[in-house]
Amino acid sequence: MRFLLDDEQREFARSLDAMLTAAGTPSVLRAWAAGDRGPGRALWGRLADAGVFALAVPEAYGGLGPLPVELAVACVELGRHAVPGPVAETLAAGVLLSGAGGPAAEEWLPRIASGGAVVSLRLAGHGPYALDADAADAVFTVDGDELRLAPGPGEPSASADPARRLFRPEAGGAVAAAGPGVRGAARAAGDLAGFATAALALGCGEELLRATVAYAKQRTQFGVPVGSFQAVKHRLADTLIGLEFARPLLYGAAVELAGGTAGAGAAVAAAKAAAGEAAYAAARTALQSHGAVGYTEELDLAWWLRRARPLRDAWGTPSACRARVLAG
């Protein structure tokens, strides 16, 4: 099966790449990690103007979606540029709220589509934490048949990436929706979060590989570029193969999600496992190939290096995803 993007989708990717390159995301990341959300929120506003968050919101609520293929295109670019904030969680909230319905959907979905709301999630079965809950306008939690708006971000927890802070949301809060439909909406939201995270991981891995290839061409040892050494070539080739094997799984999952097939969850799990492992392998290759400079805080690539493992494990660890694929 071949997955080829059309001209409009490729142009969408190019426009996002140009926008994010001009935005200088390393400085935005540093500000976000330091607690200054202004540059990050301004960047989210530009992404919303480009239609990114509307892709997960139904047209009835002011969105364009759901459009999983275009979501994959967007999230790969956001991953390549390491855009801060709960991107996957906000997109998944669009699926959760539209599935649950009610006043909460009427209030929050237009705000998500327009970029006016940053949202984080905690879903039962996906760990106790919500990403960047302190920076979110709302944190939704689902337990059983109840969707609640958490009263506060809760206690922080350690994270390998200082620009991806984890919080355990406070218990309780107002019930935003209840009933058997909430459980199904939460499953769909979990799948979308895993799918978006897989795309972010793929983009992260692509940038790690690009930067490492560029560095291997310019760094010399024994009078020649280190990229000419066979061991380095093999390591980079293995990294490329891992990323390229993950790509069709990601777009295959997009097709399954768009069609609403019974195998969509397993397809998402396969894409998440492959993309997460490929991104983490790219980080290990990048760190080794950069040598001691790879450990420095001043190197912009350090933000991508720190991000690869959290993306690998968020919304489905590799072992959990493989188990789901086998069960499916």
Give pLDDT tens digits along the chain (328 positions): 566 899 999 999 999 999 999 999 999 999 999 999 999 999 999 999 999 999 999 999 999 989 999 999 999 999 999 999 999 999 999 999 999 999 999 999 999 999 999 999 999 999 999 999 999 999 999 998 999 999 999 999 989 999 999 999 999 999 999 999 999 999 999 999 999 999 999 999 999 999 999 999 998 888 888 888 899 999 999 999 999 999 999 999 999 999 998 899 999 999 999 999 999 999 999 999 998 787 787 889 999 999 999 999 999 999 999 999 999 8
167: Cβ–Cβ under 8 A, 6 or more apart, which residues?
A: 120, 129, 130, 131, 132, 133, 134, 139, 153, 154, 155, 156, 157
Q: Is 220 helix (H, G, I), strand (E, B) or coil?
A: strand
pLDDT for position 3: 66
Q: Label residue 174 exposed, middle or buried (CB < 10 Å: 0-12, 13-18, 19+).
A: exposed
Q: Residue 294, CB half-sphere, CA atoms under 13 Å: how many?
A: 19
Rounded to an integer, what distance in angstroms lies between the CA atom of residue 290 and that of residue 237?
Answer: 16
Rounded to an integer, what distance in angstroms lies between the CA atom of residue 200 and that of residue 192?
Answer: 12
Alpha helices by DSSP H, listed for 24-82, are 25-33, 38-49, 68-80
Is the distance from CB of 88 to CB of 204 less than 8 angstroms? no
Rounded to an integer, what distance in angstroms lies between the CA atom of residue 65 and that of residue 54?
Answer: 7
Structure tokens at 199: 């795309």
pLDDT for position 237: 97
Cβ neighbours, 10 Å, residue 131? 25
Q: Residue 26, CB half-sphere, CA atoms under 13 Å: how many?
A: 10
Cβ neighbours, 10 Å, residue 223? 5
Is the distance from CB of 153 to CB of 170 less than 8 angstroms? yes
**Cis peptide upstream of residue 110 (ω within 30 degrees of 0):** no
Rounded to an integer, what distance in angstroms lies between the CA atom of residue 121 and that of residue 115?
Answer: 17
DSSP3 helix / strand / coil % (the chain, rounded to 5):
65, 10, 25
pLDDT for position 291: 84
101: Cβ–Cβ under 8 A, 6 or more apart, which residues?
A: 177, 181
